[in-house]
Amino acid sequence: MIVGAIGLIYAFVAAPSTIEEVKEMMADDTSHGSSDMGIVDQDVEFANPDHAEGDHILVDDHDNEHYEHLLHQLQNKPWAALYIAAFFFFMIALGTLVFYALQYAAQAGWSPVLFRVMEGITAYLLPGSIIIFIILVLSGLHLNHLFIWMDPEVVAHDKIIQNKSGYLNVPFFLIRALIYLGGWNLFRYLLRRNSLRIDEDSKDNKWFKQNFKLSAGFLVFFIVTESMMSWDWIMSLDPHWFSTLFGWYVLSSMIVSAITVIALVSIYLKSRGYLEYVNDSHIHDLAKFMFGFSIFWTYLWFSQFMLIWYSNIPEEVTYFVTRIEDYGLPFFGMVVMNFVFPILLLMNSDYKRVNLFVVMAGIIVLLGHYLDIFVMVMPATVGESWFIGIPEISAMLLFGGLFVFVVFNALTKVPLLQKGNPFIKESKHFHY
Amino acid sequence: MASKVIHAIYTDDDILLQAVKQVRAGRYHIAEIYTPFPVHGLDKAMGLEPTRLAITSFLYGLVGLAVAIVMMNYMMIEDWPQDIGGKPSFSFLSNLPAFVPIIFELTVFFAAHLMVITFYMRSKLWPFKEAENPDVRTTDDHFLMEIDVEDHDVNQLSKFLYDTGALEINLIDNK
């Protein structure tokens, strides 16, 4: 059976890898994008030393300072696009790991047939972490200006950031990032190792119990670090602004995207005939989670918005003022995509069992949550000069391609059924 | 017209489920089943239509949504305009965030309560109604299947039911 599974799985590597190639081709645009950016960079460097001479093109019409501001924004744009896409896919892998750990910790009986799919998706955690960390280090080295609190000149003129500099400083920031990423990857590595050992010998379910404990530990570690991660990596883009439920908000986005990807990958593999034990009850359950967490996301989105709207404190409310004035379409568009669309489509119990509806809702939800990250990151980094153009789309395709490649590659490595799991029989017969 | 029914009593829900399938396969008509607790999959085994309660619930939710919107608009904007959160805009849309919790709660309230009331009406339940179950043991640990005799042979039917695992078979005259 193992040989059969490996043989079968090898067959579909061909399919995603061609998609991958297409995506790589598209992704080449990114490198063009970054070389463009390099040119802009140089422009700025030319512009900066000799302020008096200013810039050559539009200088007559524009205030020098404004032009420089705009240049900074445009210069940030490819970086921000890269960062959003990198974070988006990293977040999916991380969310899947959380969902996976939840299944162990809850000793869920329905899901073990999907464990290998989830493990496959979490395989992207390591490359994703490395990429994120590199981007953060580059920010720390002032190669980009995503995080304005990293710029000593800004801090010098900003009392609020000065007061926060005990927490928001580059070395501590990077150390924290290392702790989060290292911890998550360590847990991922151990869970995966034990999961493979469950298949080999399951005497007294030793490794299963081990994974149960590990998962519980991971969830505790995760909920603390995830919260801090979202402050560090996203909330600190607006260093004056803060929201106490921001960690939850990012978590909800993370979980719903992850579950959606699990559902999409499962449906894809099922349609290719690999997951013989996955029936529509499993898809139904995943769709229930998609539905539930979409509502959870909306709840947090609205809670965050309403409190700030109501109290109307200037330093808090600017966050939403920029988003509504400059980002009206994505800001409200994502509510439609992440709430109205899934709630209407997935409300019906029967629709949750129809792959077509789940896939449709899934694609919209994923795009919606991309927009969510977009609206979190972009206003702070590029201000009003946002646009979903070549850098954004190609960055998405680049990381999307990498994600698909890593995930499906990982799926080919082992049989797609964790046969030593004590709940596997229940899961195979799962029927709603 | 007096019709006759047979009460067959079972003591295990798995045996009951098996029996239901056999009885239906034998083309007998099950009038009703009384169980001490909800038996998973019994509705499908009996071939009952899926409930339409969910649809009514959705519609009630929409009613609640509409009522809440009209109510908040009348109370806070039209009849006695309120300065909400220090933003005297006096427009419904600009004050919408303040109304969303109420709109949400009323939607849930309408959906839940009207659904329960609908359920009571459809099941013909009201306060102080006399219990309909024919055997008090069905509230403890027995399962009772009521089968219409129609024009089947009673002895043959009893024998059949006995084979399905019924512990007790009674012939009842309905008046």
More confident residue, A54 or A212: A212
Whether the per-residue pLDDT at A366 is higher than 90: the answer is: yes
Contact B97 A347 (CB under 8 A): no
Quickly tell me which residue has 């005497």 as its tokens: A203
Whether the pLDDT of residue A349 is over 60: the answer is yes
Nearest CB among B54, B85, B97 relative to A305 is that of: B97
Among A42, A71, A49, A75, smallest CA distance to A59 is for A71
Interface test with B, best of A295, A306, A307, A345 (most B CBs within 10 A): A306
Judge if B66 and B105 occupy the same domain.
yes
Inform me whether the pLDDT recorded for B63 exceeds 70. Answer: yes
The answer to whether B100 contacts A349, with C-beta atoms less than 8 Å apart, is no
pLDDT one-digit tens code per residue, A256-285: 999 999 999 999 998 888 888 888 889 999
Q: Please answer yes or no on whether B100 and A302 come within 8 Å at the CB atom.
A: yes
Query: CA of A236 to nearest chain B CA: how many angstroms apart?
Result: 26
Same domain, B23 and B84: no
Q: Which residue has the higher pLDDT, A222 or B90?
A: A222
Q: List chain B residues with CB under 8 Å of A305.
A: 97
| CA distances for A289 relative to A50, A125, A152, A356, B171, angstroms | 57, 22, 45, 17, 49
Handedness of CA B88, B90, B93, B98 (dihedral sign): positive
Taking a C-beta distance cutoff of 8 angstroms, is the pair A279, A430 a contact? yes
Check pLDDT > 80 for residue A15.
no
Q: What is the mean pLDDT of residues A211-231?
A: 93
Containing B152, the helix (H) or strand (E) segment is: none
Measured from the Cβ of residue B151, the count of other Cβ atoms closer than 10 Å reads 5
Secondary element (H or E) of residue B148: strand B143-148
Q: Is residue B44 part of a domain?
A: no
Residue B128 lies in a domain: no
- Domain range enclosing B103: 52-123
- A1-30: average pLDDT: 44
Question: Where is mean pLDDT largest: A94-98, B90-94, B119-123?
Answer: A94-98
Residues 6+ apart with CB under 8 A from A313: none
**Per-residue pLDDT at B43:** 86
What's the pLDDT at B135?
84
Query: B27 vs chain A: nearest CA distance in angstroms?
Result: 27
B58 with B110, same domain: the answer is yes
Q: The tokens of A175 are what?
A: 């150390």
> Do B66 and B112 sit in the same domain of this protein?
yes
pLDDT, averaged across chain A: 81
Could A309 and B85 be called an inter-chain contact, meaning their C-beta atoms sit closer than 8 Å?
A: yes
Lowest mean pLDDT among A55-64, A407-416, B124-133: A55-64
Coil vs helix vs strand at B6: strand
Alpha-carbon gap, residue B60 to B66, rounded angstroms: 10
Higher pLDDT, A9 or B63: B63
Query: Quick check: is B163 in a domain?
Result: yes
| A311: closest chain B residue by CA | B85
- Looking at residue A21, its pLDDT comes to 46
Same domain, yes or no: B79 and B115: yes
* A52-61, A363-372, B137-146, range with the lowest pLDDT: A52-61
Are residue B56 and residue B102 in the same domain, yes or no?
A: yes
| A277 in contact with chain B, both atoms CB, cutoff 8 A | no
My answer on whether B97 and B58 are in the same domain is: yes
Contact list in A for residue B86 (CB cut-off 8 A) is: 312
**Are B158 and B117 part of one and the same domain?**
no
Question: Is residue A247 a contact partner of residue A83, using CB atoms and an 8 Å limit?
Answer: no
pLDDT tier, A68 (very low <50, low <70, confident <90, very high otherwise)? low
CATH value at residue B149: 3.30.70.260
Q: Is B45 within the bounds of a domain?
A: no
Q: Is A35 in the B-facing interface, judged by CB distances under 8 Å?
A: no
Q: Is A313 on the interface with B (CB under 8 A)?
A: no
Q: Both ends of chain B: CA-CA distance in Å?
A: 7
Chain B environment of A347 (Cβ under 8 Å): 58
Percent of chain B scoring above 90 in pLDDT: 31
Confidence of residue A392 (pLDDT cuts 50, 70, 90): confident
Residues 346-385 of A with CB under 8 A from B: 347, 349
Q: Average the pLDDT over A36-50 and give the result.
A: 37
Rounded to an integer, the average pLDDT of A98-121 is 91
Q: Among A82-96, A221-235, A414-428, whose mean pLDDT is lowest?
A: A414-428
Least confident of A23-32, A301-310, B3-12, B134-143: A23-32
Please report whether residue B47 resides in a domain. Answer: no
Kindly list the residues from chain A whose CB atom is less than 8 angstroms away from the CB atom of residue B54.
349
Q: What is the per-residue pLDDT across B100-141, written as a single tens digit (0 to 9) for each?
A: 999 999 999 999 999 999 999 998 888 888 888 888 888 888
Local confidence band at A53 (pLDDT 50, 70, 90 cut-offs): very low
Whether residues B70 and B105 fall in one domain: yes
- DSSP secondary structure of B90-131: --TTTTHHHHHHHHHHHHHHHHHHHHHHHHHHHTT--TTPPP
The answer to whether position B58 is within a domain reads: yes
The residue written with tokens 């509502």 in the block is A295
A393 has a pLDDT exceeding 70: yes
Q: How far apart are CA A301 and CA A288, in angstroms?
A: 20
Q: How many CB atoms lie within 10 A of CB A97?
A: 26
Q: Give the pLDDT band (50/70/90) at residue A233.
A: very high
In a domain, B156, yes or no: yes
Total domains, chain B: 2
Is B144 exposed, middle or buried, given 0-12, 13-18 or 19+ CB atoms closer than 10 A?
buried
Identify whether residues B28 and B65 lie together within a single domain. Answer: no
Higher pLDDT, A174 or B149: A174
Q: pLDDT value at position A154?
A: 82
What is the percentage of chain A residues whose pLDDT exceeds 90?
Answer: 35
> What is the mean pLDDT of the segment spanning A390-404?
81
**Residue of A310, A347, A349 with shortest CB distance to B98:** A310
In the sheet with B143-148, reading across from the earlier edge strand, the strands are B29-34, B143-148, B3-10, B168-174
Domain identity same for B13 and B57? no
Q: What is the pLDDT of residue A174?
A: 92
Of B48 and A27, the one with more pLDDT: B48
CA distance A119 to A3: 20
Asked whether residue B133 is domain-assigned, the answer is no
Please indicate, yes or no, whether residues B57 and B15 belong to a single structural domain of this protein: no
Q: Which residues of B touch A (CB under 8 A)?
A: 54, 58, 85-87, 97-98, 100-101
